[in-house]
Amino acid sequence: MVHQYKLNGYNIVLDVDSGSIHLVDDLVYEIVSLYEKSDRDGIVHALSDRFDHDDIRSALDDVQELVDQQKLFSRADYAARLFDGSRSGASVESQSKEQYSLIESPSCPYGDLATSYRKDNDIIKALCLNVAHTCNLDCSYCFAGQGKYKGEQALMSLETGKKAIDFLIECSGSRRNLEVDFFGGEPLLNWQMVKEVVAYARSIEKETGKHFRFTLTTNGILIDDNVIEFTNKEMHNVVLSLDGRPHVHDRFRVDIGGKGSYARIVPKFLELVRRRNRGTYYVRGTYTHLNTDFLNDILHMLDLGFREISMEPVVCRPEEPYALTDEDIPIIKAQYEKLAEEMLRREREGDPFEFYHFMIDLEHGPCIYKRITGCGAGTEYLAVTPSGDLYPCHQLVDDPSFKIGTLDDGVTELDLQNEFRKCNVFARDACRDCWAKLYCAGGCAANAFHMSGSLLGTDKFGCELFKKRIECAIMIKVAKAVASTT
């Protein structure tokens, strides 16, 4: 499969199955669009009114060379190799189609591959610890329902936190790198417990042969020197919630009394980042129908001094007044394009910044298994409530029908887990013919469920935005490659 597009003056051709990316001139761009519809003479004839015959034939030779190298119009014939069990540490061959014939995809064997890979590696390596089902802000757009997830306020006990660490180690098999995200609600409302859980995990890293990577996601209200010092020492990543301009941030991110939080948190975020010594962080915003000009919010974050930024579309019921609409899509796409141009401009001027959704690692990015097996919700990744219940994903904690087990009993709802095991890039009809599938791995199961009522449905809105973000991300790579040669 080939995807071709023009952006910021570049003609870009993606060969999906091989992962190849080509910057081409106008003639090759036209040839690629005709290649599978016409033979050589037909292409020459179709383009002869605009291009020289010799040029067309020469360009056709260049295109054919890429085809011969399996860098253009390639077929995913690596499936056979992956299926034959040659991958180290797993015998895919022994247990795929008969035992786990969960996906009918005769034209696309990767569906079985992805499913069997999940079964083959039935281990858990990441937990989202909802350490506080309560919050000191009252943000009306919060998917977690002001931290309570439609339940009662609750804090996770130290005993439960330690039990979660033990559970993760026990279920992680041979995996060395384990991830724990302190989430909520607002995790700083249970800060002492967070610190003690981190200390406990660190104390058994050596004897268990594990390496923990912790992440803290916070609204910032309770950040103080102690939090900054501990976070910057122990947290692999820290996510700081800021929506951008003061009036945008304070529209939703208010305290119980309705007062905006911008003025209280920004100085704290700045101090935490200043003392982070280049450690990873993200200032993470949410944009809604009410600020589809969110580029201005990103620019505001840059003006404040932040350089690692994430900005996400709001997740909410479509009937909410701030929900994004179909009419917003072209506006949002244009914002992403302008953002990409701004990133390139600042890079040229020596003041670069990172935008999470434009980060793409072409040379050292994920392998084919990662690209086809989805996000891992319900299989390698679980969310833990304050009482120790297990859910497939933090976005599904508000729905008791998704309770998948407990820390005491492990995963007990195996049928439900199998539903998540099926959530891979080839399980969704809309994904099979999508050029972006190996960049998104099938997308977010929770968003698909909330938008379509099915885990195997599609969040069409999210897909549209994702594809635009990837087009922008690749364009940035192309522009940098060109700049490096001139």
Partner 1 sequence: MSDKKRIITLPTRKLIDADGRDGCGECQTSCQSACKTSCGVANQQCEQERD
- Residue ranges in 232-271 that form contacts with partner 1 under rule CB under 8 A: 237, 239
Could you say whether residue 359 binds partner 1 (CB under 8 A)? yes
- Alpha helices per DSSP H over 204-261: 205-208, 225-234, 246-252
Q: What residues form DSSP beta bridges with 240?
A: 218, 283
Could you say whether residue 362 binds partner 1 (CB under 8 A)? yes
Q: Which is nearer to partner 1, 191 or 381 (CB)?
A: 381
Give dist(CA 44, CA 247) in Å, integer.
58
Out of 439, 455, 472, 475, the only residue in the binding site for partner 1 (CB under 8 A) is: 439
Give dist(CA 453, CA 223) in Å, integer.
38
Could you say whether residue 466 binds partner 1 (CB under 8 A)? yes
State CA 255 to chain mean position distance. Answer: 29
> Of the ranges 82-90, 93-101, 163-171, 333-341, which one interacts with partner 1 (CB under 8 A)?
82-90
Out of 123, 254, 302, 430, the only residue in the binding site for partner 1 (CB under 8 A) is: 123
CB 284, min distance to partner 1, A: 6
Q: What residues form DSSP beta bridges with 43?
A: none
Out of 54, 327, 349, 363, the only residue in the binding site for partner 1 (CB under 8 A) is: 363
- The count of chain residues that interact with partner 1, using the rule CB under 8 A, is 96
Could you say whether residue 375 binds partner 1 (CB under 8 A)? yes
Only one residue has tokens 């401009």, namely 345
CB 338, min distance to partner 1, A: 20
Any idea of the CA torsion for 448, 453, 456, 462, to the nearest 10 degrees? -20
Q: How many residues does the chain have?
A: 486
Could you say whether residue 70 binds partner 1 (CB under 8 A)? yes
Could you say whether residue 444 binds partner 1 (CB under 8 A)? yes
Give dist(CA 452, CA 445) in Å, integer.
10
Could you say whether residue 374 binds partner 1 (CB under 8 A)? yes
> Of the ranges 194-202, 267-275, 324-332, 390-398, which one interacts with partner 1 (CB under 8 A)?
390-398
> Of the ranges 153-161, 226-234, 250-258, 357-365, which one interacts with partner 1 (CB under 8 A)?
357-365
Tell me the one-letter amino acid at 416: L
Judged by CB under 8 A, the chain residues 305 through 344 that form the site for partner 1 are: 310, 312-313, 315
CB 176, min distance to partner 1, A: 6
Could you say whether residue 481 binds partner 1 (CB under 8 A)? yes
Query: For the chain, give me the number of helices (H) and strands (E)?
Result: 19, 15
Beta strand pairing call for 235-241 and 211-218: parallel
Q: Which is nearer to partner 1, 256 or 366 (CB)?
A: 366
Out of 35, 83, 117, 252, the only residue in the binding site for partner 1 (CB under 8 A) is: 117
CB 61, min distance to partner 1, A: 10
Any idea of the CA torsion for 129, 187, 230, 310, to the nearest 10 degrees? 90
Could you say whether residue 364 binds partner 1 (CB under 8 A)? yes
How many angstroms separate the first and last alpha carbons of the chain? 31
Out of 284, 300, 421, 428, the only residue in the binding site for partner 1 (CB under 8 A) is: 284
Q: Which is nearer to partner 1, 79 or 334 (CB)?
A: 79
Out of 2, 7, 47, 87, the only residue in the binding site for partner 1 (CB under 8 A) is: 87
Judged by CB under 8 A, the chain residues 172 through 191 that form the site for partner 1 are: 175-177, 179, 181, 183
Strand, helix or coil for residue 423 = coil
CB 259, min distance to partner 1, A: 25
> Of the ranges 35-43, 79-87, 96-104, 246-254, which one interacts with partner 1 (CB under 8 A)?
79-87
Could you say whether residue 76 binds partner 1 (CB under 8 A)? yes
Q: Which is nearer to partner 1, 74 or 335 (CB)?
A: 74
CB 401, min distance to partner 1, A: 20
Q: What residues form DSSP beta bridges with 313?
A: 287
CB 313, min distance to partner 1, A: 7
CB 257, min distance to partner 1, A: 27
Tell me the one-letter amino acid at 227: V
What are the structure tokens assigned to 444, written together? Answer: 């977010």
DSSP assignment of 323-349, as one string? Answer: S--TTHHHHHHHHHHHHHHHHHHHHHT
Judged by CB under 8 A, the chain residues 29 through 58 that form the site for partner 1 are: 58
Q: Using a CB cutoff of 8 Å and minimum separation of 24, what contacts does 338-346 make?
A: 338/295, 339/295, 339/298, 339/472, 340/7, 340/8, 340/472, 340/473, 340/475, 340/476, 341/8, 342/295, 342/299, 343/476, 344/8, 344/476, 344/479, 344/480, 346/302
Sorted by sequence, the CB contacts under 8 Å of residue 472 that are 6+ apart come out as 7, 336, 337, 339, 340, 358
Could you say whether residue 210 binds partner 1 (CB under 8 A)? no
